[in-house]
Amino acid sequence: MRQAGRSLPEYRASRSSGSILQAVRDPALAAEITLQPVRRYGVDAAILFSDIMVPLAASGIEMDIVAGKGPIIQTPFRSERDLARLGTFHPETDAPYVAETVKILVSELSVPLIGFAGAPFTLASYLIEGGPSRSFALTKTLMRSDPKLWASLLDRLADMVLASLRSQVEAGAAAVQIFDSWVGTLSLRDYKTYVLAASHKVLTGLQDMGVPRIHFGIGTGELLGAMAEAGADVVGVDWRIPIDEARLRVPGRAVQGNLDPAVCLAPWPIVASEVRKVLADAKGLAGHIFNLGHGVLPETDPGILAEIVALVHEEGRADAEQDSFRTGP
The 10 Å Cβ neighbour count of residue 102 is 25
Give the CA angle between residues 246, 258, 266 to the nearest 5°.
145
Q: How far is the CB of 285 from ligand 1CP (least distance, A)?
A: 23
Give the torsion through C-alpha atoms of 245, 248, 250, 254, to 10 deg.
80
Q: Is 189 a catalytic residue?
A: no
Contact by Cβ (8 Å): 34, 46? yes
Q: How far is the CB of 272 from ligand 1CP (least distance, A)?
A: 23
Q: In this complex, which beta carbon is closest to ligand 1CP, that of residue 47 or of residue 61?
A: 47
- Helical H segments across the chain, by residue range: 9-15, 20-24, 27-41, 54-58, 80-83, 91-94, 96-108, 120-129, 137-145, 147-171, 188-194, 196-204, 224-229, 243-249, 268-282, 302-327
Q: In this complex, which beta carbon is closest to ligand 1CP, that of residue 116 or of residue 121?
A: 116
Q: How far is the CB of 131 from ligand 1CP (least distance, A)?
A: 7
Q: In this complex, which beta carbon is closest to ligand 1CP, that of residue 295 or of residue 316?
A: 295
DSSP 296: P
Q: Is 213 a catalytic residue?
A: no
Q: In this complex, which beta carbon is closest to ligand 1CP, that of residue 236 or of residue 320?
A: 236
Contact by Cβ (8 Å): 112, 174? yes
Q: Is 41 a catalytic residue?
A: no
- List contacts with ligand 1CP (CB under 6 A): 2-6, 20, 47, 49-52, 65, 67, 70-71, 116, 132, 179, 181, 294-295
Q: Is 51 a catalytic residue?
A: yes
Q: How far is the CB of 180 from ligand 1CP (least distance, A)?
A: 9
Active-site position among 11, 40, 94, 126: 126
Contact by Cβ (8 Å): 89, 59? yes
- The residue whose Cβ lies closest to ligand 1CP is 70
Q: Is 281 a catalytic residue?
A: no
Alpha carbons 322 and 159: distance in angstroms, whole number: 46
What is the set of active-site residues? 2, 6, 15, 51, 126
